[in-house]
């Protein structure tokens, strides 16, 4: 709150005086509580902006002595997975450093991305001692819907990151526009390969049918080519070990020798690049464009070596950070939160990856 020259500090009393309302009415507006007419609320908000009034959140939080608990429910990183999920965790930790002085504590929970029962089990653990707010990556649709149904009953606000489940009344969604990112991949392929060659779409995941974020990317790519004669073939690889990936790809490329572009819908593009590198040594005349997702260490290394052509990245660290700050703004600051925040679609190449933050 500013102090003007020759005047007393401007606070709630001054706002109430200028608006000709009771202090309690101003307090309702500041804390976004009901009971104030739209006209009066608009008048008070205009005065708040004019005075640049900011409530002393720190003093209020310290006075309450209530620890605000925020739970995060994310996939864990294992030896079988990429290090993608270390990035949202880093963003969450950054947010925690900024807001812990206000009595906010973050409790991390992790599930196995390859095991839907793991998600349900960890979700039950969270509900045994419900948090004040929850940030989650809804990787399994059925289990996620069941979990957030319980959150609704308990009046716990929740934020989705990385992928969304429409019509589930989340506080907000922070992440990529999945469809548009797939559409962008289609545009890159269009620019870089002959028009009559085939595109191979690879969904590399143990739980294809529930990983709707992969399917939305595929839909975006197909939409880009909807009015063209570009042939597209899709392969789902549910065993993600190198031998299984090699088996599926070998067969696919034998069946479709005109393939000149491969689009991997998640961060496992490095594993695909190793197979294509090995194959290129045997077939020197064949050049296949490779596009995948995410700024992981392994992916960047393969990009730098020239084995991946493009990485589509959408700032997962910022997703984690913004997700926590959205809960903080809602629960502590009592201010409206943007319902959908799409992250930028960043195209990373060998030439620019060193400058990407």
Q: How confident is the model at residue 2 (pLDDT cuts 50, 70, 90)?
A: very low
Q: Quick one: 210 and 321 in the same domain?
A: no
According to the model, what pLDDT value does residue 294 have?
93
Residues paired with 133 in a beta bridge: 70
Compute the average pLDDT of residues 310-324: 96
Q: Quick one: 75 and 112 in the same domain?
A: yes
DSSP 354: G
Which residue range(s) make up the domain with 157? 62-175+316-343
Q: Quick one: 296 and 202 in the same domain?
A: yes
Q: Quick one: 103 and 192 in the same domain?
A: no
**Would you say residue 350 lies in a domain?**
no
Q: Quick one: 196 and 281 in the same domain?
A: yes
Q: How confident is the model at residue 56 (pLDDT cuts 50, 70, 90)?
A: low
According to the model, what pLDDT value does residue 6 have?
38
Retrieve residue 238's tokens: 């549910």
State yes or no: pLDDT of 7 exceeds 60.
no
**Would you say residue 261 lies in a domain?**
yes
Mean pLDDT, the chain, rounded, equals 88
Q: Which of 75, 94, 95, 73 is nearest to 85 (CA)?
A: 75
**Would you say residue 75 lies in a domain?**
yes
The percentage of residues in the chain with a pLDDT greater than 90, rounded to a whole number, is 63
Q: Quick one: 98 and 156 in the same domain?
A: yes
Q: What is the pLDDT of residues 61-112, one digit of tens each?
A: 555 567 899 999 999 876 556 688 999 999 999 999 998 888 899 999 999 9
**Would you say residue 352 lies in a domain?**
no
Q: How confident is the model at residue 143 (pLDDT cuts 50, 70, 90)?
A: very high
Q: Which of 110, 82, 35, 348 is nearest to 205 (CA)?
A: 82
**Would you say residue 242 lies in a domain?**
yes
CATH number at residue 18: 1.10.260.40
**Would you say residue 4 lies in a domain?**
no
Q: Quick one: 96 and 150 in the same domain?
A: yes
**Would you say residue 152 lies in a domain?**
yes
Retrieve residue 304's tokens: 């730098």
Q: Which residue has the tokens 């102090």?
A: 3
Overall number of domains in the chain: 3
Q: Quick one: 152 and 250 in the same domain?
A: no
Query: 11 vs 100, which has greater pLDDT?
Result: 100
Please write down the HEC assignment for all residues of 138-204. Answer: CCCHHHHHHHHHHHHHCCCCEEEECCCCCCCCCCEEEECCHHHHHHHHHHHHHHHCCCCCEEEEEEE
Query: 270 vs 332, which has greater pLDDT?
Result: 270
According to the model, what pLDDT value does residue 79 have?
57
What is the C-alpha to C-alpha distance for residues 310 and 294, in angstroms, rounded to an integer?
Answer: 10
Compute the average pLDDT of residues 233-244: 89
Query: 33 vs 252, which has greater pLDDT?
Result: 252
**Would you say residue 99 lies in a domain?**
yes
Q: What is the pLDDT of residues 202-213, one digit of tens each?
A: 988 876 555 567
Q: What is the pLDDT of residues 169-227, one digit of tens each?
A: 899 999 999 999 999 999 999 999 999 999 999 988 876 555 567 888 999 999 999 99
According to the model, what pLDDT value does residue 157 have?
97
Q: Quick one: 289 and 185 in the same domain?
A: yes
Say which range, 176-185, 248-257, 282-291, has the weakest mean pLDDT: 282-291
The percentage of residues in the chain with a pLDDT greater than 70, rounded to a whole number, is 90
Retrieve residue 354's tokens: 């060193």
Q: How confident is the model at residue 285 (pLDDT cuts 50, 70, 90)?
A: low
Q: Quick one: 284 and 182 in the same domain?
A: yes
According to the model, what pLDDT value does residue 8 have?
39
As a whole number of Å, the CA-based R_g of the chain is: 25
Say which range, 15-19, 273-277, 278-282, 349-353, has the weakest mean pLDDT: 278-282
State yes or no: pLDDT of 343 exceeds 50.
yes
Q: Quick one: 69 and 41 in the same domain?
A: no
| pTM of the complete model | 0.79
According to the model, what pLDDT value does residue 68 have?
92
Say which range, 5-19, 117-131, 153-167, 263-277, has the weakest mean pLDDT: 5-19
According to the model, what pLDDT value does residue 61 have?
57
- Whether residue 136 contacts residue 172, with contact meaning beta carbons closer than 8 Å, is answered with no
End-to-end Cα, the chain, rounded Å = 34
CATH number at residue 227: 3.40.50.2300
State yes or no: pLDDT of 270 exceeds 90.
yes
Q: Quick one: 32 and 78 in the same domain?
A: no
């Amino acid at each position: 709150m500013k102090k003007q020259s020759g005047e007393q500090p401007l606070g709630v009393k001054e706002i109430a005086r200028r608006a000709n309302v009771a202090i309690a009415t101003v307090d309702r507006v500041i804390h976004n509580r009901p009971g104030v007419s739209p006209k009066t609320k608009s008048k008070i908000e205009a005065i708040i902006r004019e005075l640049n009034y900011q409530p002393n959140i720190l003093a209020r939080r310290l006075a309450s002595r209530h620890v605000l608990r925020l739970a995060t429910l994310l996939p864990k990183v294992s030896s079988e997975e990429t290090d993608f999920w270390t990035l949202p965790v880093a963003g969450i930790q950054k947010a925690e450093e900024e807001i812990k002085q206000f009595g906010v504590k973050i409790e991390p929970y992790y599930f196995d991305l390859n095991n839907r029962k793991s998600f349900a089990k960890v979700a039950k653990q969270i509900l045994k001692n419900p948090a004040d707010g929850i940030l989650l990556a809804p990787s399994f649709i059925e289990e996620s819907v069941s979990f957030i149904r319980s959150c609704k009953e308990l009046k716990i606000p929740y934020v989705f990151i990385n992928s969304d489940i429409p019509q589930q009344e989340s506080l907000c969604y922070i992440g990529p526009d999945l469809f548009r990112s797939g559409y962008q991949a289609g545009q890159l392929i269009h620019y870089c390969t002959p028009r009559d060659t085939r595109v191979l779409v690879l969904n590399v995941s143990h739980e294809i049918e529930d990983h709707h974020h992969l399917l939305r990317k595929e839909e975006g790519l197909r939409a880009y080519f909807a009015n063209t004669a570009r042939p597209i073939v899709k392969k789902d690889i549910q065993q993600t070990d190198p031998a299984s990936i090699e088996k599926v790809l070998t067969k696919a490329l034998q069946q479709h020798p005109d393939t000149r572009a491969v689009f991997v819908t998640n961060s496992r593009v490095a594993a695909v690049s190793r197979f294509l590198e090995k194959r290129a040594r045997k077939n020197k005349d064949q050049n296949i464009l490779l596009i995948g997702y995410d700024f992981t260490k392994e992916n960047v290394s393969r990009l730098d070596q020239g084995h991946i052509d493009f990485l589509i990245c959408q700032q997962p660290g910022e997703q984690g950070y913004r997700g926590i700050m959205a809960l903080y703004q809602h629960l502590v600051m009592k201010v409206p939160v943007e319902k959908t925040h799409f992250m930028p679609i960043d195209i990373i190449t060998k030439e620019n990856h060193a400058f990407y933050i």
